[in-house]
Amino acid sequence: MKTLAVLLPAIVMAASALAAGTPAAPKPDVAKGQASAATCIACHTADGSRGAPANPILQGQHPEYIVKQLTEYKAGRRVNAIMQGMAAALSEDDMRNIAAFYASKQAKPGFARNKDTVRLGERIYRGGVAERNIPACSGCHSPTGAGIPSQYPRLGGQHAEYTELQLNAFRSGQRANNAQMMTIAGRMNDREIKAVSDYIAGLR
């Protein structure tokens, strides 16, 4: 015990010195991010807004989430030929700058379109499906779809087509960069995926 009491302060001091000597990541530059994002316009529009429904809306997305996805495309942990090619040329600073640019934009609202399944979508999003251990989406992505920075992406207003595509990709294993989402989507049927994707599109 006496040895531990002597060692603990030394360990704390060493850890503090190490932390002090670690340079902080540079603050993201939104202007540079906008310039770098010029190559993204064809798929994501000039400001990441409501472009083609097969591509995600990036406006208002948490920057940490965008950086994570770009990093995983670059590393091959998330597979998409176009995005892997785009991410390959980006440095860590580029990724942070691009993410900051899209995050600085105010996300525009979307709308659910299928009135026949909106109640099913709402039930799954807010309460899950208990008998199949499908948790409520709102538990991680918040009741409004705003997500939780650094942890879970913003979903509210996202294209229903894109959300459906990603849930199907998680279910099939084509998208394998999130074990939790693979498990959840794997327990959902086509109707449930379509319904919750449409409901998410109208969250705000």
The model scores a pTM over 0.85: yes
What are the structural domain ranges in the chain?
30-103, 118-201
Q: What is the pLDDT of residues 127-162, one digit of tens each?
A: 999 999 999 999 999 999 999 998 999 999 999 999
- pLDDT score at 34: 98
The mean per-residue pLDDT over the stretch 22-29 comes to: 80
Give the residue among 65, 61, 32 at the shortest CA–CA distance from 49.
61
66 has a pLDDT exceeding 80: yes
pLDDT-derived band of residue 1, with 50, 70 and 90 as boundaries?
very low
- pLDDT score at 23: 66
CATH for 118-201 (3.30.70.980, 1.10.760.10, 3.30.1330.10, 3.30.1050.10): 1.10.760.10
CB of 195 closer than 8 Å to CB of 117: yes
pLDDT-derived band of residue 26, with 50, 70 and 90 as boundaries?
confident
Question: Which of 22-36, 50-64, 95-109 has the lowest average pLDDT?
Answer: 22-36
- pLDDT score at 18: 45
CATH for 30-103 (2.60.120.1440, 1.10.760.10, 3.40.50.2300, 2.60.40.10): 1.10.760.10
Count how many Cα atoms sit within 13 Å of the Cα of residue 198 in the half-sphere of its side chain. 17
Question: Is residue 50 helix, strand or coil?
Answer: coil
Indicate the Cα dihedral angle 177, 77, 34, 146, nearest 10°.
0
* Residue 175 Cα distances to 25, 46, 52, 172, 180, angstroms: 29, 26, 20, 8, 12
Residue 28 contacts by C-beta under 8 Å, 6 or more apart in sequence?
63, 96, 97, 99, 100
| Same fold: 30-103 with 118-201 | yes
4 has a pLDDT exceeding 60: no
Residue 75 contacts by C-beta under 8 Å, 6 or more apart in sequence?
none
What share of the chain in percent tops pLDDT 70?
A: 89
More confident position, 19 or 106: 106
Taking the C-alpha atoms of residue 204 and residue 200, their distance in angstroms, rounded to an integer, is 9
- pLDDT score at 20: 53
Give the residue among 152, 141, 64, 150 at the shortest CA–CA distance from 102.
64
Indicate the DSSP class of residue 37: G
